[in-house]
Amino acid sequence: MSRKLLPSISSMNSTNMANLNRMTLLMSISEITPQLFLAGQMAATVEQVQKLGITYILNVAVESSPIVYPKGIKVEKFDIIDFPTAPISNFFNSLTDKIHGHLNTNKQNKVLVHCMAGISRSTTIVCAYLMRYMNMTLREAYLLCKKHRAICFPNLGFWNQLITYENQLKKDISVKMIPTQFGNVPDVAYEEIKQLRAQQPFGSIPLSTTSL
């Protein structure tokens, strides 16, 4: 193949670069804390899970296909759909208890929470855990996830449920839904949403549901 046909990084526009970065993250497991990881199903391969020393996998995607992991890796699946009206908050206490219990059993244990793409459902559960057991605010939890996995974004219904959960835990909220030209969005993510809408007017993040 001629070298002229190979695209260079310098020749890629910002949209193509963003798509490349997104695909890289979709294929990666992101370390949120030294013991807690977040990913989509494509990244949750036996090879990657073993390489990271993950001992417990929490699958929260109803539509995911089963993966057989070696003995010693515990796997549990919970059928959650990625839709704004899905009652994901019904799982907050039970799933955060499971994460906390596994991590406390052995300091060497590591937990992977995954959905289909590691964007909405898994981020929501990880944020709930960070608020409940790591004493973070919702804003801090989301920004930590975002720092290590840039594509993280709970759907708007899940945002509302996370805000309610934070209020239950903290008797206060750190994130507010604000009215914008895109509808009501979380204030912590407004600038990000605005930039994405400017780059792709039809939206790379569906604000009503991510379906991921």
Per-residue model confidence (pLDDT) at position 66:
85
Per-residue pLDDT for 204 more than 60?
A: no
Contact 40, 119 (CB under 8 A): yes
| Cβ neighbours, 10 Å, residue 182 | 15
* Alpha helices by DSSP H, 45-186: 46-52, 92-105, 121-133, 138-148, 156-170
In this structure, the chain runs to a length of 212
% helix, strand, coil for the chain, step of 5: 45, 15, 40
CB atoms within 10 A of CB 70: 8
The residue type found at 17 is M
Q: In the prediction, which pLDDT does 19 show?
A: 62
Domains and CATH numbers, the chain: 31-199 (3.90.190.10)
Residues of the chain with pLDDT > 90: what percent? 75
Q: Residue 212 in contact with residue 115, Cβ under 8 Å?
A: yes
**Residue of 143, 208, 151 whose CA lies nearest to 175:** 143
Catalytic residue among 115, 127, 145, 152: 115
* Other CB atoms within 10 A of residue 187 CB: 13
In the residue annotation, 115 being an active-site residue is answered as: yes
Q: What is the pLDDT of residues 115-158, one digit of tens each?
A: 999 999 999 999 999 999 999 999 999 999 999 999 999 999 99
Q: Which residues contact 71 (CB under 8 A, 6 or more apart)?
A: none
For residue range 66-95, what is the model confidence (pLDDT) as tens digits?
899 999 999 999 999 999 999 999 999 999
- pLDDT confidence of residue 26: 86
The greatest distance separating any two alpha carbons of the chain, rounded to the nearest whole angstrom, comes to 63
Residue 196's pLDDT band (boundaries 50, 70, 90)? Answer: confident
Q: Say how far apart CA 69 and CA 57 lie, in whole Å.
A: 10
The answer to whether residues 40 and 117 touch, using CB atoms and an 8 Å cutoff, is yes
Higher pLDDT, 20 or 155: 155
